[in-house]
Amino acid sequence: MSSILRQHAEELFAQELEELKKQDSGHRPPNWKLSPQGVVDYLTGTTLKNGFVVSPKYIGNRRLMEIAVATLTTDRALLLYGLPGTAKSWVSEHLSAAISGDSTMIIQGTAGTSEESIRYGWNYARLLAEGPSENALVPTPVMRAMKDGKIARIEELTRIGADVQDTLITILSEKTLPVPELNTEVQAAKGFNIIATANNRDKGVNELSSALKRRFNTVILPVPDSIEEEIDIVRRRVASFEKIMELPAEPPALQEIRRIVTIFRELRSGTTLDGKTKIKSPGSTLSTAEAISVVNNGLAMAGYFGDGQLKAADVAAGIIGSVVKDPIQDQIVWKEYLETVVRTREEWKDLYRACRDL
C-alpha cells in the first residue's frame, strides 16, 4: 500500500484507466487518453467486456457528465457550479485524469491570486542576472497545460479578483498567451482546455464578467436526488478513506450512514422525509461531503477510543458540529429538531441520548 496520504486520481485509479484505454475503441480527440464515451464510463462506472469493473466516481445523472465531457471537446471551457460539497473538485480532478492523464495542473483561487499565478512568473535572480529570457520565465499550470495540450484546473474561480479573472479571456478566446517581455507567445496545443469550479454560496463575491461567462459552458452539480443515491456516495467514499487511513474500526453499518444522511437531508429540505413535519433549516450547508466527514470522524473515534464499531456516541459530536455553525440561531434549530424529530423515533433513542448529553 502506498505511503502517500492522498494519491492523485490518475495514480489511485491507474488500473481502471489502463483497462479502459485497452478496450476503448471510440474516437479520441487530439491528446486525449480516452474517447469522450470512455471518459464518461470512467466517471459513472461500468463493467467492461472482459468483466473488469470500473467503479463510479460520480453517482448521479450521467447526462450531466456527458454534457461536461462534450464541452471539453469544443473551444469552450467548463465551469462546474453548485453548492459546497457537491463534488465539483472531485469531478474536475477525475475529468483531468481521464482526459489528460494528469490532474496536477491546478490553480487554487483566492483573494490573493495574482495575474502571475495564471499567466507566468519570473525567476527574479535570473531576471536580474540575464534580463528577460526563456530560462528566467516561470510557467504556471495554465501555461504548461497550453504547451502540452492538457487540462488546467482553476478552483474557486469566483474567489479570484475580477481583474485577474479577465486574464483568462485572451487565453480562452484566442488560445494564446502573449509574453510581451520576450516578444513571443504561447499557442495552445490541441487538447488544451480549462475546468473551473465555483461555489454558488460565493455568488456576488467576484461576479464573472459577461465576456468571461461567454467563454464557459456551465454545468450545475446538484445535491443527490434520492436518499439511496446519497447513502451510496457516502458508503463508497468512507470505504475508500478507511482503506487509506487503515483505521482499526469495522466498516460502518448501513443504518448508521442512513441516519446521518437522513438528518442532513431533512435539515436541508426543511421537512421530514415522510413530508409530515416541517422543520427549520440551519445556515450550514449540510452537504454530502460533510456527511462523509462525520462518518470518517466517527470511525476514528470508534477505532481509537471505542470498541471498533461505529455507534451513535461516535458520530453525535460530528453531527452537531456540522449543523451548528452559528452558536445562536443554528443551536435553536438543532435543539428543536432533536426534540421534535429525533426523540420521537424509537430506533433513534441511542442517537437522541448521545446528542442530548453533549
DSSP label at 182? G
CA distances from 356 to 110, 272, 302, 307, 349 (A): 39, 20, 19, 22, 10
Give Cβ neighbours of residue 228 (< 8 Å, ≥ 6 apart).
none
| Cβ neighbours of 281 (radius 10 Å) | 16
pLDDT at 204: 54
Which region, left, alpha or beta, applies to residue 34 given φ > 0 means left and ψ of -120 to 50 means alpha?
A: beta
Question: Of 100, 188, 173, 98, nearest to 143 (Cα)?
Answer: 188
CB contact at 8 A, 333 and 270 = no
CATH class of 9-220: alpha beta
**Strand segments (E) across the chain:** 46-47, 53-54, 77-82, 106-108, 120-122, 137-139, 151-155, 176-179, 184-187, 193-199, 216-220
pLDDT digits (tens, 9 = 90+) for 44-88: 999 999 999 999 999 999 999 999 999 999 999 999 999 888 999
pLDDT at 328: 94
Could you report the per-residue pLDDT of 76-125, keeping only the tens digit for each?
A: 999 999 988 899 999 999 999 999 999 999 999 999 999 999 999 999 99
pLDDT-flagged residues of the chain (< 70): 1-2, 202-204
